Structure 1
Amino acid sequence: MHASRSANGVAHLLTTEGIKRMEQTYLMNGVPSFANAVV
């Protein structure tokens, strides 16, 4: 499987922020506010 560099960056951001905040992220209703600048 291949993901573009920008998509990988968003995945990395979601993961690291989720770990910092001790929460899980589900993208059912859009992108979290901290990821909007990257998307």
Structure 2
Amino acid sequence: MRSEIEVIKKIIAEFDVVKENVNALSEKAKTDPQAAEK
């Protein structure tokens, strides 16, 4: 039971990292349209 909770926490943490990366990319795309092209 406890290991399942750890796995879920890990998945949520990884999802948060992905979300942060997506946010950073979309912010960069807004400020620098050329960067989004590459």
- What is the TM-score normalised by the length of structure 1? 0.47
Which structure has the larger Rg?
2
- What is the TM-score normalised by the length of structure 2? 0.48
Higher RCO (C-alpha 8 Å, min separation 6): 1
Flag the structure with higher helix content. 2
